[in-house]
Each structure stands twice: as structure tokens, then as C-alpha cells.
Amino acid sequence: MERIGLAVIGAGYWGPNLVRNAQATPGLRLEYLCDLDVSRARQVLGDYSTVRASASLDEVLADDAVGAVAIATPAGTHLKVALAALEAGKHVLVEKPLAANLAEGRRLVEAAESRGLVLMLDHTYCYTPAVRRLRELVRGGELGDIQYLDSVRINLGLVQPDVDVLWDLAPHDLSVFGAILPDGVEPLEVAAHGSDPIGAGRACVAHLTIRLTGGAMAHVHVNWLSPTKIRTMVIGGSSRTVVWDDLNPSQRLSIYDRGVDRRADLGAGEREQAIISYRVGDMVAPALTEREALRSVMAEFAGSIAEGRRPLTDGRSGLRVLALLEAASESLATGGTFVPVKTEVAA
């Protein structure tokens, strides 16, 4: 396989992880680490690297050895950086969220699609062995009809200077919802409540409620202020319910054959109570192969370029997340009422 020349843009928090994993990906050849602060790029590369550091995006994009870029700069810069890359004919892998808002995101999707370039979101969690298995379980019907989803992502996190806790953390949960829900189950409307108890100027604690096609409800709790760290998602189905605890490496997924059933109504004489029944069956924790998710992200990026196909988390998956975030922000600003999700933009 021809190796694709890659430049990583941004040497901040996430950039070093992209650099490390790109170097370990057979289909990629890392050419540059680019950062406005070139000394930061040099420090990330260290003293023993043959990879070039650059302070100039223009230089990088002008280099024919570079066929693709991976962007790990602040969300506010995604439009400018990614658009320049696409216009220079480079395939793009971009950190979540795709852009600072839905309109900007749509411009990027259009720019990529019109040029036949890969635009891929680094929705890292979607590439974990746990979420891949969740996707199989949900879409394969093993859980039955999805009844509710509940995701908690809280810890003592960095209060971001430019985005609130919803835009910072919820993209993880929302992208996973998108990856695992069956076709036809779509978010219809969103309500959000938030608070800023430390006076940071933006919500530090938030709760998101999403109504889905078919009546199920999804809930997301994100919190920058929690002294304890929790990363749990429950997906309740009519047949089984699965709990994903990302902080329990020895048992990330637990599939419960437990639930409440409501049998068909038995007639006027029967009381309501009589037709509710409970299942308390076994729990199975499937064996999962541990593999760094970002390694799989890089492999998918290289593979989708090489094969000229859409990646699992393409630009449209990024638009769906942006549509949810925008609706959530509108709800937050208007007292928590339900706001419709503009899913058509992501169609």
C-alpha cells in the first residue's frame, strides 16, 4: 500500500496523541507537525525525531508530499484551517466538534464532497472496542427496541475558555449515540438545563434530554466540577440492557438480561399491575480486545482515503452532532424548552 503523507496541525493537548498514532499506522507517513508556536511542535517531537516541525500552514499545504492533514486546533479555527486544507486538495481528519457552528460545518462538508475528499471526524470513542460492540448489539437487535439511553460524563475537568461544558464534553456522547442507534431512530428535539455555579461565564454543569423517533428518551449529564470521574452509558432495550463503564477496564460492557415487560392487555377485568412482569436473568460481560481507539481512527482515515470511501465517522456525522449542540444551546438560552433538531441539514 502506498503510504499517504500526513501533517498534524496543532501541538496542544491532543496533537501529541495524533503524532504518536500516525507514526504507528502502516498506511500513513508522518511529514510534519505544524503549530503557530513551532517550539511547542519541536518539544512534542522531541530530540530523536525525523519528522519536520513547521510554523506555517501554508508551507505544509503547499508540500506535495502531504496528502492529508489531521487538525487538532481549537474549534473556532476549524473552518479556516480545514477549508484551506480541502482547497489545497488534502484529505482532512478533524477533532470534534467539526466546527464552531452548524453553518460552518456545512461549508466544510460541502467543500469536501464537491472535491471528492475525505472529511473525517475524530470521534475517538466510536472506535473503541466497547462502542464497536455496542453498535453490533444495538443494530443487531440483541437489545430489542431501544427504550432509553443515559450517559454520564463527569469529572474535575478543565474549564474551557471558549466553549461551555456541553460543547466540550457532550460531542463524545452524541457521536456515540449516532454511531450505535439503528437507522431510522433519530433525535427529534432537545432540551437542556445548565448552571454556572462558579461564575465562569459559561455552563459548567449541564443536562441534556433528547426525544428520539419512536418515543425513547436519551439523557446526557456533563459536568466539569465533579471531584469523582464517571463515564457511564446505559442503553436500555426491551430485551436486554447494556451498561458501558469506560473506567472499568476489566469489565467495560455488562449485558443484563433484566427488565420490565408489559404484556398485551388481558381485558377489562384484569388490573394494570397484573400485566407487568419482571425478568431478572444473568449478566454477561463480553471479552473485548484492548486496542487504543486512536490507532483505529488513524487506520480508518488511511483506509477510507486509500479505498476512496466514506469513513465510519464522516463529515455528516459531525453535522449531526453540531445540529444537536445548536439545538441544546438554544434550549439552554430559552429556559429549557424542547427545541427541534435540524436533522435535515445532515441528511
User: Contact between 30 and a copy of itself (CB under 8 A)?
Assistant: yes
Which residues, listed in sequence order, are joined to residue 175 by a DSSP beta bridge? none
Report whether 219 contacts 210 (CB < 8 A).
yes
CB of 221 to a copy of itself, least distance (A): 7
Q: How many CB atoms lie within 10 A of CB 221?
A: 19
Which residues, listed in sequence order, are joined to residue 6 by a DSSP beta bridge? 30, 68
Question: Could you say which of 83, 84, 88, 225 contacts a copy of itself (CB under 8 A)?
Answer: 225
For 304, phi and psi rounded to 5 degrees?
-70, -35
Question: Could you say which of 127, 167, 224, 244 contacts a copy of itself (CB under 8 A)?
Answer: 224
Question: Could you say which of 62, 65, 156, 266 contacts a copy of itself (CB under 8 A)?
Answer: 156
Q: Residue 104 corresponds to which cell in the numbers above?
A: 460552518
CB of 53 to a copy of itself, least distance (A): 12
Question: Could you say which of 62, 65, 103, 276 contacts a copy of itself (CB under 8 A)?
Answer: 276
Q: Which stretch binds a copy of itself (CB under 8 A): 6-14, 58-66, 235-243, 300-308?
A: 235-243
Q: Residue 132 corresponds to which cell in the numbers above?
A: 464497536
User: Which DSSP string corresponds to 110-161?
Assistant: HHHHHHT--EEEE-GGGGSHHHHHHHHHHHTTTT-SEEEEEEEEEEE----S
Q: How many CB atoms lie within 10 A of CB 287?
A: 7
Question: Could you say which of 281, 291, 309, 340 contacts a copy of itself (CB under 8 A)?
Answer: 281
Q: Which stretch binds a copy of itself (CB under 8 A): 4-12, 59-67, 101-109, 257-265?
A: 257-265
User: Contact between 262 and a copy of itself (CB under 8 A)?
Assistant: yes
CB of 153 to a copy of itself, least distance (A): 13
Question: Could you say which of 17, 77, 101, 195 contacts a copy of itself (CB under 8 A)?
Answer: 195
Helix (H) or strand (E) holding 234: strand 225-237
